[in-house]
Amino acid sequence: MGVFFSMLKLMYEKYFSVEAHGLHHVPPRGRVMLVGNHSGGVALDGAMVIASMFLEMDPPRLAQGMVEKFINKMPFGSQWSTRCGQLTGLPEHAERLLRDDRMLMVFPEGARGTAKLFKERYTLVQFGTGFVRLAMRTKTPIVPFAFLGGGEAVPTIANAYTLGKMLGVPYVPITPWGVALPLPAKLEVHYTAPMLFEGTGSEEDDVVFGYVERVKSRIAETMELGRRRRKGES
């Protein structure tokens, strides 16, 4: 793990020069759920969030998540997920992690969110609802975050679904130069104030959908503010 985090530190600080904003919103200890958008298509977002928590928090925190199963079929994907403490499999694993007062990282867009094209890089696809029910059931605060720059680092112009199926993954991202090797684009993570939803997690769908939309709206607003600032707009 030491070697891997040394490499991650190099990518975080030198290659992408990541800026992490709003770290004071993240609890220094105890259970918490980091919930954000996908951007970059090759697990770039998750890796940089993990790095920001490990390198910028005092004391360091390990963000763990339920990664998409296809990540383990990507080059170095299995090594990345295992060495960074990421989980695949059953939702019960995520609940056990929170009940152990650890940090869970969630991308509610799922695999669909990783397939965004360059022109869609500042958009969100439909969120799942399970993360809100889990947060309510375990009395866990949600810290919404926006990850910016992944679409510039991996400017996907198309997704090769047939090729992906042959390789055992949902798709293969195609960039102007063919392969999806990330460019040294400026990346940003913006953490926002925690949200805590009262309940048992067994509430009616309409109630849960409302909470999901509140989280999604917070992320969308933060993404838009970041987009405008990156473009020099007021």
pLDDT per position as a tens digit, 155-176: 999 999 999 889 888 888 999 9
Q: Confidence band (pLDDT; 50, 70, 90) for 231?
A: confident
Alpha carbon distance 164, 166 (integer Å): 5
Confidence (pLDDT) at 16: 98
What is the pLDDT, as a whole number, of residue 147?
Answer: 98
User: Which pLDDT does position 137 carry in this prediction?
Assistant: 97
pTM: 0.92
Tell me: pLDDT of 116 over 90.
yes
Which pLDDT does position 80 carry in this prediction?
58
CA 220 – CA 225 distance, rounded (Å): 9
In this prediction, residue 151 carries a pLDDT of 96
In three-state secondary structure terms, 101 is: coil
Average pLDDT, the chain: 91
Q: Which residue has the tokens 């375990």?
A: 138
Which pLDDT does position 89 carry in this prediction?
59
